[in-house]
Amino acid sequence: QLQLVESGGGLVQPGGSLRLSCAASGFTLNYYATAWFRQAPGKEREGVSCISRSGGSTNYADSVKGRFTVSRDNTKNTVYLQMNSLKPEDTAIYYCAATVALGSTWCSMDAQAFDLWGQGIQVTVSA
């Protein structure tokens, strides 16, 4: 069974850091572009970041640019989201998603492009 499982969330104070992990099982991430999404209370789902299947291309939402960094280690079948300088408005459920990408540079934050989704993990930023 093809699965994505997020980990590393929790409660952190404003200005703090967290690193989310997204581990794939049942398939290899080598052929999959991946992305992170989040949904805050009362808000629509938002694309946070994406990374191409080889890791050579990335993109970020304006709201997180300069604070978040996406990376991947295909040998470990895992994608990461390093979150620094966290703000209360970053509070949300964060989701990892993946889809097959034939091109090595394809990178999208359009939720409709993704087939596989993790269960989501809570990130809470509060003083």
Q: What is the pLDDT along the chain (127 residues), one digit of tens a residue?
A: 899 999 999 999 999 999 999 999 999 999 999 999 999 999 999 999 999 999 999 999 999 999 999 999 999 999 999 999 999 999 999 999 999 998 999 999 999 999 999 999 999 999 9
Residue 64: other Cβ atoms inside 10 A? 23
| Cα–Cα nearest to 50, from 118, 105, 12 | 105
Calculate the alpha carbon distances from 125 to 15, 69, 75 in Å: 9, 18, 31
| Cα–Cα nearest to 25, from 79, 62, 65 | 79
| Cα–Cα nearest to 44, from 106, 115, 92, 105 | 92
Single-letter amino acid, residue 77: N
